[in-house]
Structure 1
Amino acid sequence: MTGGSVDVALLAYGGPETPAQVAPFLERLMGRVPDAATVAAVKERYALIGGASPLPGITVRQARALQGRLTRDLPGPVRVRPGFLYGEPSVTDCVRALDAAQVVALPMSPFSSRLTSGRYRAGLAAAEDRAAGGAGRDIPLLEGWHASRGFVGAVSRRIAEALDGSDAREWAVLFTAHSVPVETVAAGDPYVEQLRQTAAKLTRRIAAGGSRFGFQSKGRGGGEWTEPEADAVARDLAGEGWKKILVVPVGFVSENVETLYDLDVVLRGHIEDLGMEYRRTRPPNDSPQFIEALAAVVTAHLAERPATPADRAENLPADG
């Protein structure tokens, strides 16, 4: 492993932390000014989950915990800072404040997709564009850790916590993740295949009665989206005689409106209307197991990277 200082940009989508931030957040997300009806509908959703998104705060805690873990694991100084695609601090502000010998970006999505990691790469490129004031660095994006032992173990721990004290064989597990346009998958996007790989690894670790996969939070833009939808899978499970469903939002590493509203309000209502019991696992958030998994992604990358002139310069004696 190379020595020297290390900076990590911990990248996430972001979310409104107050009702007043809903409209600006939507404008960034949509790329246009949202109409009043859309703003009102989204504000209503956030009102039902406490008035704001918990995601930014969770990301800040993840960054602090990861910095503490990497400080123990690495020989040189370490900084971990959050940056958001659609919030503050922005990806640009985050990245331009980092100047260590080695700077890497770690997305808070373990799955590779042009709709997630692709946007993070575009954000990094914009931040580093020399014509726009950037430093011109090629900052690596540490993506595709969906099947890592650490991530799978962190989600497995959440499943075990949710089923603690229950007969796991009585529960059908419903893995969920955000739906994407079918055309994205048809173009070779690895997102769905990576989700299946993760779900398969998790299924081998748990003792539940059965497992299925369903997509949630389909976009409003029309067109075909990945199926089956989670509510349709729940309907099938009810038809098979299941009475209890444990929902595992494997596509999300932090609580957000899509877990707290789309699942805990909308999907829960659907499942209970079918006469079944609803239970959901928490995402990894800032659990010790998840922070350890993130640290492993960073240290594995650094171990494979050869020393650069900047690394060697940092390791010279002070009077060298």
Structure 2
Amino acid sequence: MSELRDPAPGAAAAAAPYDALLLLSFGGPEGPDDVVPFLENVTRGRGIPKERLKEVGQHYFLFGGVSPINDQNRALLDALRKDFADNSLDLPVHWGNRNWAPYLTDTLREMVAEGHRRIAVLTTSAYASYSGCRQYRENLAEALATLEAEGLAVPRVDKLRHYFNHPGFVRPMIDGVLASLAELPEDVRAGAHLAFTTHSIPTAAADTSGPVEEHGDGGAYVREHLDVARVIADAVRAETGVERPWELVYQSRSGAPHIPWLEPDICDHLEALHGAGAPAVVMVPIGFVSDHMEVLYDLDTEATAKAAELGLPIARSATVGADPRFAAAVRELVVERAAIERGQPAQRCALGALGPSHDLCPVGCCPAARGAAKPAAAGADSPYA
């Protein structure tokens, strides 16, 4: 397993040509009055009645109408700024969201006013899919079009590559599994199964995730998750001496019931494991960067309640969040991409069998399932080169 390395000499200039980093995330409500407006932003154009949105928002109301994602992004911002400063990487870090304040367009407008013209973008989604990659790129294109219409300078934005298999993202999850195993009662620990969880998406969207040559059979989305799960399971076996059964399962399904989505659901999986005699389970949310609402509700609330109902000992391992190793990984990704943009050799860290992801999303990568294709920035088909 490769490890994170110290920055090379001359780190102060290692980010050139980039003059800023943008942390681009989903956003979430920060109080009860925000929940329905936030969900209106998320579902804009789908014609969902407000009463239905109030029903959907019950998950948020259970937690006071506050999603933890914004505070988690603030913590990640602090971690990134500290890591950059400690390693003499002179690169300001800004934050914008797709669906709630601080809004992406407002943040880009502020960055342009500060003189930023070449921006690296980190999204809080590690894997390939429409909702996890191209939709962010569409939001970037829409924001840039707004700046252009306002007569402002349009910056160049480059999305950093998928980091699902970067050591700084994977190693904290390995440690999280080891810590969760230690929390289980000793008499069931050795037999515990690992349930790697990620967001379910329509099977049609999964099949067309990633570059065109990777489409089909779950596409890049499923392959990337399976590769990371295998790396973590192998590392846990190496460090504990125990071979543990594991499976990739899904959570947070939404949408019409007649449309096929990736399965099995985590709660169904827990029932199946209990029926098969599994003594305990560790849930490993590899599909999520931080402990946002879908982790708190779907795993810590719903799945944990299901396990209690079954009498099945369970633990949930930590997401990466603002782990300093993840902040260091982001620095490495910025320095790596900057070197490539300068035409220089770059060290591209990756674990597992798939290797480092592409830097520039190719044409046909992660298309939308419905409607005409929208302009998307930071890809081979970007209208803003």
Counterpart selection for 2:120 from 82, 97, 104: 104
List aligned pairs for 1:203-282, cutoff 5 A: 203-207=233-237, 209-222=244-257, 223-282=259-318
**What's the % identity of the aligned pairs?**
26
Q: What are structure 2's unaligned runs of at least 5 residues? A: 1-13, 209-214, 344-385
Q: Give the partner amino acid of 1:183.
A: A
Let me know the Cα RMSD of the aligned residues: 2.1
Match of 1:312 in 2: none
Deviations along 1:74-118, one digit per CA (max 9) or x if unpaired, are 45x321111111011111122232243631100011112111211
Q: Is the alpha carbon distance of 1:304 and 1:74 closer, same or farther for their aligned partners in structure 2, counting shifts above 3 Å?
A: farther
Counterpart selection for 2:327 from 286, 291, 300: 291
Match of 2:36 in 1: 23
Report the Cα distance in structure 2 between the residues aligned to 1:87 and 1:133, rounded to whole angstroms. 24
Q: What are structure 1's unaligned runs of at least 5 residues? A: 308-320
Query: 2:229 aligns to what SS in structure 1?
Result: helix
Matching of residue 143 in structure 1 with residue 161 in structure 2: yes
Query: 2:21 aligns to what SS in structure 1?
Result: strand
Contact 2:195 2:284 in 1 (8 A): yes
Report the Cα distance in structure 2 between the residues aligned to 1:170 and 1:91, rounded to whole angstroms. 46
Report the Cα distance in structure 1 between the residues aligned to 2:50 and 2:117, rounded to whole angstroms. 46
Deviations along 1:227-270, one digit per CA (max 9) or x if unpaired, are 12212221221122112111111111111111111111111122
Worse overlay, 116-125 or 26-35: 26-35
Contact 2:250 2:266 in 1 (8 A): yes
Matching of residue 153 in structure 1 with residue 171 in structure 2: yes
Shift of residue 49 of structure 1? 3.0
Worse overlay, 276-285 or 7-16: 276-285
Shift of residue 35 of structure 1? 2.9
Q: Give the partner amino acid of 1:270.
A: K
Shift of residue 34 of structure 1? 4.6
Report the Cα distance in structure 2 between the residues aligned to 1:161 and 1:135, rounded to whole angstroms. 49
Report the Cα distance in structure 2 between the residues aligned to 1:264 and 1:185, rounded to whole angstroms. 25
Q: Is the alpha carbon distance of 1:295 and 1:157 closer, same or farther for their aligned partners in structure 2, counting shifts above 3 Å?
A: farther
Contact 1:95 1:124 in 2 (8 A): no
Contact 2:282 2:315 in 1 (8 A): yes
Match of 2:133 in 1: 117
Report the Cα distance in structure 2 between the residues aligned to 1:261 and 1:165, rounded to whole angstroms. 21
Deviations along 1:142-195, one digit per CA (max 9) or x if unpaired, are 131111111111211222222236554232111100001111123325212111
Shift of residue 137 of structure 1? 3.2
Q: Is the alpha carbon distance of 1:2 and 1:141 closer, same or farther for their aligned partners in structure 2, counting shifts above 3 Å?
A: closer
Worse overlay, 253-262 or 1-10: 1-10
Shift of residue 202 of structure 1? 0.9
Report the Cα distance in structure 2 between the residues aligned to 1:2 and 1:64, rounded to whole angstroms. 19
